[in-house]
Amino acid sequence: QVQLQESGPGLVEPSQTLSLTCTVSGASITDRYYSWGWIRQPPGKEMEWVGDIAWSGTTYYNPVLKSRASISRDTSRNQFALQLGPVTPEDTGVYSCGRILTSQIPGMMSHPTKTTGAWGQGTQVIVSS
C-alpha cells in the first residue's frame, strides 16, 4: 500500500521560497501511468491543485501558480518536492502530496480532491513575518 509523507518548514517568511518534500513508500515514483503532485487548502477556502510530476518526469502546473511553482523528483530517494516562491500570506494553507493516475490530472485541475488517489495527511504552512 502506497504511503506518502510531507515534510518541510511550517513557517515561511513572505517573499521567500516554500520548499516541501514528499517521501513515498510502497510504490515507485517511476511506476508507469501514475503522477505525483500537490494540492493545498488555504484557511476557509476551497482546495486548490498546485501541480503534478508524471512517472515520465513531465510536469503539469496550475496556470495561476505556474510562474512561481516548481515540482522536481529524486528517483534515488523515491521523493518529489515542491518549491513555491516568492510566497505571500495568501499561500498559507495545508499542503498535501499525493498519487493519482496521470489520466486523472484534468479532473484534479478542475475539481481538486483527496478522495481520488492516495494522499498524505498534509502539512500546515504559514507564510508570515
Q: Residues of 4-24 as b/e, b for ≥16 C-beta within 10 angstroms?
A: bebeeeeebeeeeebebbbbb
Amino acid sitting at position 48: E
Q: What is the pLDDT of residue 74?
A: 97
Per residue of the chain (129 residues), give pLDDT as tens: 999 999 999 999 999 999 999 999 999 999 999 999 999 999 999 999 999 999 999 999 999 999 999 999 999 999 999 999 999 999 999 999 999 999 999 999 999 999 989 999 999 999 999
Q: What is the pLDDT of residue 22?
A: 98
Q: What is the pLDDT of residue 119?
A: 97
Q: What is the pLDDT of residue 54?
A: 96
Q: What is the pLDDT of residue 21?
A: 98
Q: What is the pLDDT of residue 78?
A: 98
Closest residue by Cα to residue 90 from 15, 1, 3, 10 = 15
